[in-house]
Each structure stands twice: as structure tokens, then as C-alpha cells.
Amino acid sequence: MIGNIVASLYAPSGVIPFSNTVEYLIIAGGGSGGGTDNGGGGGAGGYRCSVSGETTGGGGSAESALTLSAATNYTVTIGAGGATASTAVRNNGSDSVFSTITATGGGGGGVGNDAALYNGASGGSGGGGRGNRSGATGGAAASPTQGFAGGNGNNGGTFYSGGGGGAAEAGNTDANGEGGDGLSSSITGSAVTRGGGGGGSGNSSQPVGGTGGGGLGSLVNSTDGSPGTVNTGGGGGGSGASTGAAGGSGIVILRWVSGTITIGAGLTGTTSTAGGYNIATITAGTGNVSWV
């Protein structure tokens, strides 16, 4: 009888109360590739993760899960990827937000004929530097740790632009002009890689984007790159013709043990269960979530 009375205090009508601790994976929008004949690859959106046993972007340890309150609204924003880029702008991705945690949009790739824009932009992961211009450097990664820097452009005989930085490695790590790879997370119950940097441009081959949604790069004076993959924060591929490819949008994924989430107006999301957890995957919009 005592056990039944206690249960009724905490779980009226059979409702299991919110467990308060919420783990997260928050990825910002990826930067666009540079728009020019030697555009740098876009940097991946910042990658912030609190899942036990996993890592956050930039080689950091998993962050601390959040302790939240029931019947309280918490803001969620899904960052858009950087828009397609001309020769005159570097387009960073937009930030993704959950509660007090912000993932920084990826840096746009170096562009154009203005020396002020040759370098990749800084971001969650940095954009790659423009090719065929002396000293064009990759953009830096944002603080706190959430990604890697973009690769430098090359002005040598076989020139190439820098690959965008990824969540797991810097641009140019695997090969000249290639985007940095992303990270794998099993927060949904299945391993998925996200946060790849965009490939730059090359004069002999198209540098590939990093694993986890980075867009394919381009051939100099021939093709444009491919966009970053939606909901991975992948960087866009750098242009070899005129237009830098768009970055991929970000995502927010949450998991907790017990309680029911409400995904508010303005947000697009789904819920599921796996491994003893409740999971919410939010793919677009701005709004609030709450639990009971």
C-alpha cells in the first residue's frame, strides 16, 4: 500500500515524470564553398555533443549533459547552411541552439579577386583558403571546441584550394583540397556520421568532401562543387567556375530516460525510442521544447 501511495505522488494517471537529464547533439549549418574559379571548401557547422563515450567536434571530450526542469520552455534553433556564394562574399552557416548551448555556423570558403576574401572564414569549422593566390589560409575553428580549421590554398604548379574543416579533422588532412571528415554519433541508436567539410577545387581532380555530408569539390575553370548534405552541417564544395555550393543545414538531437517532450510550433521534428532512451530529432525551424 505504501508503495502505491508513493507511486501516485510521482506518477499520477500512470505518467512517468521527466528524468531531468538531457543529452544532446547540436550541429550548426555548414559554410558555403567559395565562389570563384578556385574557391575554397566550406567548413562544417560546429559539432557539440554530450553523449557519454563520444567526442565533441575538434577532438574534445563529450560535454556535460544538461539538467532541465519539467514544464519549462527551452529554445531550439536549427541553423541554415550558408547560401550559394558569388565571387564577392564568403557565406558562413547559421548557428544551431538548444537551451544554453550554441553550435557556431561553419566558415565560408575563400573567394574571388579581393585579397581580403582569399582566406577561408572562421566558423564552427573553418573554410578552406582560395587556390592560386599566394598565402591564402584556411579559417580558424570556433571556441569552445567544436571543429577544425580549414586547409590552406596552394599557389604551386598543381594548385588547389583548401578543403573545409570538419568535426573530426582539418581540411587537406587526407589529400590536398579534401574536406575534413566528420564524426559518428549513435545518439539515435544507430551510428551516423555528420559534420564533414566541403572539398575545395583542383586543376587535375575534384577534391572530395569529408565523410559526414561534405560537398564534392570542383575542377578549376570547369565545374562548380556540390552542396553539403541537409541536416549534417556539411560544408559546400568550392567552385571551379563561378558559384560556391551551399552548406548543409544543421540538426538538434536530444535524448533522455523518461518523460514526454512537446515539440512546439515553428519546429519540425520526430520522436523515437532506442536503447532505453527517448529521442527527439529536430530538423528545421525555431521554437520551444518542453517536457512533462
Domain-located, residue 6: no
pLDDT in tens, 112-157: 888 899 999 999 999 999 998 888 999 999 999 999 999 999 987 7
Domain-located, residue 3: no
SS3 sequence, 203-215?
CCCCCCCCCCCCC
Domain-located, residue 123: yes
Question: Alpha-carbon distance 137 to 115, whole Å?
Answer: 11
User: Which residue range(s) make up the domain with 288?
Assistant: 13-292
pLDDT at 45: 98
pLDDT greater than 70 at residue 7: no
Q: How many domains does the chain have?
A: 1
Q: What phi, psi does 279 have (nearest 5°)?
A: -135, 135
Question: Alpha-carbon distance 264 to 56, whole Å?
Answer: 27
pLDDT in tens, 23-60: 999 999 999 999 988 999 999 999 999 999 999 999 99
pLDDT greater than 60 at residue 259: yes
The residue that leads in pLDDT, 73 or 16, is 73
Residue 22: pLDDT band with limits 50, 70, 90: very high
CB atoms within 10 A of CB 78: 27
Domain-located, residue 86: yes
pLDDT greater than 80 at residue 16: no
C-alpha distance across the termini of the chain, in Å: 26
Average model confidence (pLDDT) for the chain?
93
Domain-located, residue 158: yes
Segment 184-204 shows an average pLDDT of 96
Domain-located, residue 4: no
pLDDT at 273: 98
Domain-located, residue 33: yes
Segment 79-96 shows an average pLDDT of 94
Q: What percent of the chain has pLDDT over 90?
A: 84
Which three cell numbers mark 210?
A: 569529408
Domain-located, residue 5: no
pTM of the model: 0.94
Q: What percent of the chain has pLDDT over 70?
A: 95
pLDDT in tens, 98-111: 999 999 999 999 99
